Structure 1
Amino acid sequence: MTYTVAYIVGSISKNSLNRRLSQALITRAPQNLTFTEVTIADLPLYNPDHDAHFLPLAAEKKAVIEASDALMIVTPEYNRSIPGVLKNAIDWFSRPWGHGSLGGKPTLVAGASVGPMGAAFAQDDLKKILTFFNAHLLGQPELYINLTGDDFADDGHILREGTDAFLAGAMQTFAAHIEATLR
């Protein structure tokens, strides 16, 4: 069976390590997973005043998430937490109250940084937020990846053999998690 995965990159930098990591994960995923990016850079700051007349742009992005079978979020760590742009997107995608799009989906959280902790604190905060929405988080393996731009080949795969193999295994596990959750 084929499953659709909406994915969000928590960085809007054009040279983002996490954008590159998301592409490496996608290329290592089993062929029964298809991916659609939900971009977040163009969302204005969330304001509950919009709930009565929800912003069409945000509604379109929510619809992509709602139509997907699963969710993958790949994020850097900013100041020991998630980037503001990602938190803003989560606020949009979880509103209006009672009509959020993030709950009930098998979800993979990953992140990379040049530091040795590999975005671990950001992922911890993100998992707390997603648990509130009843996302079905993949617990293991945890994807706290230490990477630099030099770790990527021109075609996007990761040059460190052990890391590349780890990502492939993680995506196999994510596919099994999706299937088990949706069964």
Structure 2
Amino acid sequence: MKPSSRSTVLALSGSLRAASYNTALLHAAVKHTGGATDFDIYDRLGRLPMFDQDLDNEDAPREVAELRRRVAAADGLLIVTPEHNASIPAALKNSIDWISTPPAGGILPGKPTAIAGASPGPFGSARGQLALRQILTSIGADVLAKPEVAVFRCHERLDEGGNVTDPTTLSLLTDLTDALAARIAAGRVASA
């Protein structure tokens, strides 16, 4: 049987806010992707319990087990994050803690991962993305270096319905998902 040329990317927003700019950016990336990629949007960060090493075992909480299963099944990750206090939101860090430690510790190393973010401020979550990049690199994820998608003054680039209206932002999102699809495809060729 010939392997599928389609890839699956787990996409998640680091924001819990209902009308989040970052969640809107994530949905725009999914909607405007140019590749043969299926997206699995994970929207349950707020339901994960706080990381507790005493619970970090084969019988992890149900929500944790589900997240680990979906990350393991994905060919790559797309993480869109806001910036909180020059870093990433606690809910996003919590999810990474759950999927990077034993017994799940083997699901992130080498996993192609793209990051993006948005902020109404002038830096477009650049410091949050830097912190996220440092965390993901330290646990062995294969984090794409380019393109960098840090959408500044995002409230001017989205309409009231949360749709991205800025052509440059849409182009960068497409470039990012294309680069992620190419990294996944290159990994498949290397391992064949």
Pairwise same-fold verdict (TM > 0.5): yes
1:16-39 superposed Cα distances (whole Å, 9 cap, x missing partner): 100000011111112411111222
Match of 1:135 in 2: 141
Q: How far is 1:163 from its partner?
A: 2.1
Tell me which residue corresponds to 2:53.
48
Task: Report SS of the residue matched to 2:105.
Answer: coil
Q: 1:180 aligns with which of 182, 186, 191?
A: 186
| More moved, 96-105 vs 12-21 | 96-105
Q: Moved runs in structure 1, 4+ residues, more than 6 A?
A: none
Matched positions, count? 183
State the identity %.
36
- Looking at structure 2, the residues matched to 111 and 54 of structure 1 have their Cα atoms a distance apart, in angstroms, of 30
Separation in 2 of the partners of 1:170 and 1:8? 15
**How far apart in 1 are the matches of 2:104 and 2:166?**
44
Partner of 2:168: 162
- 1:59-97 Cα offsets, whole Å, 9 max, x none, are 111100100100111000000000011111111111225
Which of 161-170 and 6-15 deviates more?
Answer: 161-170
2:116 pairs with one of 79, 96, 110: 110
Work out the CA distance in 2 between the residues paired with 1:2 and 1:156. Answer: 28
Letter aligned with residue 89 of structure 2: P
What is the DSSP-based 3-state SS (H/G/I as helix, E as strand, rest coil) of the residue aligned with 1:41?
helix
Cα distance 1:125–1:42, how it changes in 2: closer, same or farther (>3 A)?
Answer: same
Match runs of 1:18-167 below 5 Å: 18-38=22-42, 39-52=44-57, 53-96=59-102, 99-153=105-159, 157-167=163-173
Amino acid across the alignment from 2:186: A
Q: TM-score, normalised by structure 1?
A: 0.92
Segments of structure 1 that go 5 or more residues without pairing to the other structure are none
Distance 2:180 2:144 in 1: 7
The residue matched to 1:82 in structure 2 has which SS?
Answer: coil
- Per-residue Cα deviation, 1:116-147 (whole angstroms, up to 9, x for no partner): 11101111111111112211111111111114
On the 8 A contact 1:157/1:164 being kept in 2, the answer is: no
Instruction: Identify which range, 32-41 or 164-173, moves more after superposition.
Output: 164-173
Uncovered stretches (5+) of structure 2, i.e. residues with no partner = none
Q: Aligned equivalents of 1:98 and 1:13: distance in 2?
A: 27
Match of 2:21 in 1: 17
Select between 166-175 and 62-71 the one with higher mean Cα deviation: 166-175
Task: Deviation per CA, 1:33-64: give whole Å up to 9, x if none.
Answer: 11112221101111101024321220111100
